[in-house]
Amino acid sequence: KQEVTQIPAALSVPEGENLVLNCSFTDSAIYNLQWFRQDPGKGLTSLLLIQSSQREQTSGRLNASLDKSSGRSTLYIAASQPGDSATYLCAVILGWGAQKLVFGQGTRLTINP
Amino acid sequence: NAGVTQTPKFRVLKTGQSMTLLCAQDMNHEYMYWYRQDPGMGLRLIHYSVGEGTTAKGEVPDGYNVSRLKKQNFLLGLESAAPSQTSVYFCASSYIGVSTDTQYFGPGTRLTVL
């Protein structure tokens, strides 16, 4: 059974720092991996989707990498801002068609001004 | 364009009561999903639908039923609520479910069962 783990569960850093969030998964037979952002009381917003044939994706200050063989992904946030404070979830996508996403528990990120 | 909406936003039930959560999307998406999110855990898939009139079980389907009578709506029912069903419920939809599609999520329904 696929399991997804995110470490740390919570992270607090001062504004301006670069930071890395980690995601690991137990079965390398995934189609894609996706990073989401969740704000309190809100739904999930997709940040980056990495296809299994890719090694990384970038969007603005965000960069996500994927190493299927080691079962790991990282989300790098450059020059963090208070507006980046949220919970970040990674999910592996199993299979084509109806997407079966397996989520990690999330990392709650706080950026201190 | 409202995206994915969920009704109600909050609800408190007593054990044994029943209720229906409504999810609506205006993006003409074929695929729709219901998840639950519990503290310290990621989202878990309850049921999903690949088109009007179809439904299928996800990871944690017990105690829930679903229906997709119209393409734009996906209903989640609790016939006899239990305290273990206290959770935040999210609905999502995606276009045709290919692996590069993203799911679009609603804002969630916070359900408490006493």
CB A2 within 8 A of CB A94: yes
Quick one: which of A53, A100, A91 has its CA closest to A73?
A91
pLDDT tens, position by position, A48-62 = 999 888 899 999 999
* CB contact A1 to B (< 8 Å): no
Render each residue's pLDDT in chain B as its tens digit; 114 residues: 789 999 999 999 999 999 999 999 999 999 999 999 998 888 999 999 999 999 999 989 999 999 999 999 999 999 999 999 999 999 999 887 565 678 899 999 999 999
Q: If DSSP codes are grouped into helix, strand and coil, which group holds residue B33?
A: strand
pLDDT tens, position by position, A60-87 = 999 999 999 999 999 999 999 999 999 9
Which among A44, A96, A103 has the least Cβ separation from residue B99? A96
CB B51 within 8 A of CB B71: yes
Which among B41, B45, B108 has the least Cβ separation from residue A101? B45
What is the predicted pLDDT for the residue at A97? 63
The residues that bridge with B24 in the sheet, in sequence order, are B5, B73
Which among A42, A95, A99 has the least Cβ separation from residue B94? A99
Cβ <8 Å between B97 and A103: no
Cβ <8 Å between A44 and B101: no
Using only C-alpha atoms, chain A has a radius of gyration, in whole angstroms, of: 14
* Chain B stretch 54-93, residues whose beta carbon is closer than 8 A to a beta carbon of chain A: 56, 58, 90, 92
